[in-house]
Amino acid sequence: MKLFTLFIFSLTASQVFSQENFSSQIDINDLPVETVEIDFSTMSEDSLTYYTNKFLAESFLNCNEHISNYSSMTKNYVSRIKIIKLNNDHMDGYKNISSIDIKNKCNPSLVHSSFSEFNIKYFNPVKYRIDFLKEEVQLFRLYNSNCIMYVEKYSK
């Protein structure tokens, strides 16, 4: 019985370890990408600045003094995001963005999108409490859509 328990523990530990490292090892080319809907990393500097400022204005609606403080840093974060569309057959196993808290201290009206009304045109990645300093790739399913937010790992 002790041997069996030890075997189960080691098997579980190796699965947890491999799941934790899965996202850090994944490359966007390894995913069954149907289309890349939005790739902030390939946008012009002006377009990236426009989207960053738009996202910040919504997130810091009642705290405008923070926008200039976070603009450069947030632009770096946004530039590492891609919104990719996957085949519906490959949507299982991704953490849903709905499980991430919203940063709504400055704008209490910020809420999660409705599962039935999600529209990528209005998606604001800055409003979520995502750790953009993680040194591993992060993948989030965007509500009930067949889109994934791919966040490239942070490099020092």
> What is the pLDDT at residue 87?
83
When pLDDT is cut at 50, 70 and 90, the band that residue 25 belongs to is low
Residues whose CB is less than 8 angstroms from the CB of residue 152 and which lie 6 or more positions away in sequence, other chains included: 41, 80, 81, 82, 137
The first and second tokens of residue 71, run together, are 């603009």
pLDDT of residue 33: 83
| For range 103-122, the mean pLDDT | 86
pLDDT of 130 above 50: yes
- 34-82 pLDDT tens trace: 888 999 999 999 999 999 999 999 998 888 777 878 888 899 999 999 9
**pLDDT surpasses 80 at 119:** yes
Residue scoring higher pLDDT (141 or 12) = 141
- Averaged pLDDT for residues 99-121: 87
What is the three-class DSSP state of 144? coil
Single-letter amino acid, residue 116: S
> Which structure tokens are listed for 93?
């196993």
What local confidence, expressed as pLDDT, does residue 24 receive?
A: 52
Q: What is the residue extent of each domain of the chain? A: 2-151
Q: Give Dmax (Cα) for the chain.
A: 64
**What's the pLDDT at 4?**
37
Between the CA of residue 61 and those of 14, 67, 125, 126, 136, what are the distances in Å? 45, 9, 15, 13, 30
Question: Looking at residue 156, what is its pLDDT?
Answer: 79
